[in-house]
């Protein structure tokens, strides 16, 4: 029922919806992402499965994240079980990311294991929580460096620019965030 283990994620419709919502052509997305128009068309028609790197390029071109596109790939379920054996996305040698929530929901959760691209800066519209399940990380946020170990959490309000890296092999970080499509941001200037 809620166990979708046998159903692969199909991101094509989510990519197409996002592209059309931004009123972009395939040619513009191709130029922004560095991918070809035919390949993007195959992705949108679920005739090609993009690698994690390609999906991140598409997401960047569409001003969203790969996690958001994957989350929008499945219809929302009221109860869904994501098994540990679920396909991981390889990010770099020795690292992987696994979505812990499928579908178009108010929250997204991703488990990152291993090394992480420390040079990539993130800025999410809504709030997020980072939890170190194993290992240790160093997070740079608002011009300060923070070291977090197993069991530590960091809460980041929407709009805070940050980057992070694992400092111990096989580090596992759980990131839970309010979805980008949710209007959760309040006027913080008051």
**Banded pLDDT at 97 (limits 50, 70, 90):** confident
Q: Using the 8-state DSSP alphabet, how is residue 119 labeled?
A: T
Q: What is the pTM of this model?
A: 0.58
**Banded pLDDT at 190 (limits 50, 70, 90):** very low
**Banded pLDDT at 102 (limits 50, 70, 90):** confident
Mean pLDDT on 89-109? 72
What integer best gives the mean pLDDT of the chain?
82
Is the four-CA dihedral 130, 131, 134, 136 of positive or negative sign? positive
Using the structure block, give the residue that is written with the tokens 């094509």. Answer: 12
Q: What does the pLDDT look like over 45-54, one tens digit per residue?
A: 888 888 889 9
Q: What does the pLDDT look like over 126-181, one tens digit per residue?
A: 899 999 999 999 999 998 999 999 999 999 998 899 999 999 988 999 999 887 76
Continuous segment of H or E residues that includes residue 57: helix 52-61
pLDDT value at residue 87? 52
Contacts of residue 180, Cβ cutoff 8 Å, sequence gap at least 6: 64, 65, 68, 124, 125, 126
pLDDT value at residue 6? 44
Rounded to an integer, what distance in angstroms lies between the CA atom of residue 9 and that of residue 12? 9
């Amino acid at each position: 029922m809620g166990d979708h283990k046998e159903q692969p994620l199909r991101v094509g419709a989510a990519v197409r919806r996002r592209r059309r919502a931004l009123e972009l052509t395939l040619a513009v997305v191709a130029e922004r992402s560095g991918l070809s128009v035919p390949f993007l068309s195959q992705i949108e028609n679920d005739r090609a499965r993009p690698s994690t790197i390609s999906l991140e390029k598409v997401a960047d071109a569409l001003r969203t994240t790969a996690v958001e596109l994957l989350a929008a790939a499945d219809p929302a379920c009221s109860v869904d079980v994501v098994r540990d054996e679920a396909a991981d996305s390889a990010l770099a040698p020795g690292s992987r990311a696994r979505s812990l929530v499928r579908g178009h929901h108010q929250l997204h959760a991703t488990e990152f294991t291993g090394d992480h691209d420390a040079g990539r800066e993130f800025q999410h519209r809504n709030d997020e929580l980072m939890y170190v399940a194993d290992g240790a990380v160093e997070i740079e946020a608002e011009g300060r460096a923070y070291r977090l170990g197993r069991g530590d959490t960091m809460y980041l309000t929407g709009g805070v620019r940050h980057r992070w890296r694992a400092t111990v092999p096989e580090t596992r970080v759980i990131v839970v965030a309010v979805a980008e499509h949710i209007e959760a941001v309040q006027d913080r200037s008051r």
